Amino acid sequence: MGGVPSDPSTPASSSPAHVATSAANLPPSAVPTVSSRLTWRPSRPPASGTGPAPRTGTAADAAELLRGLRITALTGAGVSTDSGIPDYRGPDSPPRNPMTYQQFVQDEAFRRHYWARNHVGWQHVHRTHPNAGHRALVRLEDAGVLVGLITQNVDLLHEDAGSRTVIDLHGRYDRVICLQCGRVISREHLADRLTALNPGFLESVTEVGDVEIAPDADAVIEQTSHFRPAPCEFCGGVLKPEIVYFGENVPRERVDRAYALVDDGDALLVAGSSLTVMSGLRFVRHAAKAGKPVVIVNRGATRGDPLATLKVEAGVSETLTALADA
């Protein structure tokens, strides 16, 4: 795209921080519920007709609209689908129920079920690589067009691609925190402990290529009742991925940095997010309120469409590549 010319809403988590769950092997009391602190909607695209239709166009239209502007990007799970990580609310995505923070900390059965599935799914996400869309954003940043990006994803593929200014809004899948003593360990270290505690478990489930993987490194497997989670090796406390669950707030400092990054840009580019929850939508509202152009690249409707200056209904990787080439 060439060179560059010389009231916050209540925090809420979003799609990559969801944890897909199943009722299998869980007691009757362990039924997924929705946290009253967060606005959650079923895992399907927002209904059409909820607001005025945005102007639709092509990648070329987006390049022309954004030409000469400094851009802040907001990315969702759709950016990583070409890396083999499915999104939550794409047209072909299966419905999912998110696990809440309250369920995770209060119910041992939920924790066991989660860690068993994550132990499988983590192996898959750990082996994924950035795609053309991630690389296109790096090119835009290198050219001085992109001031930085806010991602709702926890897969770290933006960092792996070489992006320098990244706010991981919902945390990152490669770290685990103790809810009691606050110590942080690597997910890789925990994987070694879980394998030792559960010999043969990974071999007993279907090969990862045949298991449904979710964006937060969860995997859909059913037999988890005998899985042994690992306690904190320092204090014996409960370990939790350092990602934001439903029922948790995104840390205030992180939200403030994200707002500041939106303010630093002249325009907001949304890529691969349905903006179903407020966690991402608030930044679109913030940009629109400030009079900044908002370009949304996503297949299917989003909750931000009524606020968009331009909507591009096309693949994320191909559109971002076209913007970097323009």
CA–CA separation, 272 vs 31, rounded Å? 30
What would the mean pLDDT of 268-287 be, rounded to a whole number? 96
Strands 294-297, 56-57: pairing kind: unpaired
- Residue 142: pLDDT above 90? yes
Q: Note the pLDDT of residue 120.
A: 84
Sign of the alpha-carbon dihedral angle for 62, 65, 67, 68: negative
Answer with the residue of higher pLDDT: 232 or 95. Answer: 232
Q: What gap in Å lies between CA 235 and CA 242, rounded to an integer?
A: 18
Any catalytic annotation for residue 170?
yes
Helices 59-66, 316-325: axis angle to 10 degrees equals: 50
- Euclidean distance between CA atoms 238 and 140, whole angstroms: 41
Residues 6+ positions from 71 with CB-CB distance below 8 Å: 140, 145, 146, 147, 265, 266, 267, 268, 269
Residue 107 token pair: 């119910």
Q: What is the pLDDT of residues 22-41, one digit of tens each?
A: 333 333 333 222 222 333 33
CA–CA gap between residue 321 and residue 307 (Å, rounded)? 24
The predicted structure's pLDDT at residue 228: 94
Supply the pLDDT for residue 51: 57
Residue 125's pLDDT is 75
Per the structure block, which two tokens stand in for 17?
């921080």
Q: What phi, psi does 40 have (nearest 5°)?
A: -120, 140
What share of the chain in percent tops pLDDT 90? 62
Q: Reply yes or no on whether the pLDDT at 137 is more than 50.
A: yes
In this prediction, residue 52 carries a pLDDT of 65
Tell me: pLDDT of 11 over 60. no
Catalytic residue among 170, 189, 226, 286: 170
Give buried/exposed letters for 32-48 (b at 16+ CB in 10 A, else e).
beebebbbbeebbbbee
Of 102-111, 132-141, 183-192, 266-275, the poorest mean pLDDT is in 102-111
Q: In this predicted structure, what is the pLDDT of residue 238?
A: 96
H helical segments located in the chain: 59-66, 101-106, 108-125, 132-142, 157-161, 187-197, 201-204, 252-264, 278-289, 316-325
The whole-chain average pLDDT of the chain stands at 81
Domain 15-25+52-325 has CATH 3.40.50.1220: yes
Q: What share of the chain has pLDDT > 70, as a percent?
A: 75
Q: Which two tokens stand for residue 301?
A: 């409707």
Quote the CA–CA distance of 253 and 239 in Å, as a whole number: 23
Q: Does 143 have pLDDT greater than 60? A: yes
> What is the CB neighbour count within 10 angstroms for residue 122?
25
Cβ contact 100:36 at 8 Å: no
Domain boundaries along the sequence of the chain: 15-25+52-325
Provide the pLDDT confidence category of residue 86 given band limits of 50, 70 and 90.
Answer: confident
Confidence of residue 155 (pLDDT cuts 50, 70, 90): very high
Which residue is associated with the tokens 């096309």? 314
Q: Give residue-wise pLDDT tens across range 95-108.
A: 556 678 999 999 89
Lowest-pLDDT range, 4-18, 50-64, 235-249, 255-269?
A: 4-18
| Digit-coded pLDDT (tens) for 42-81 | 334 444 445 567 799 999 999 999 999 999 999 999 999 9
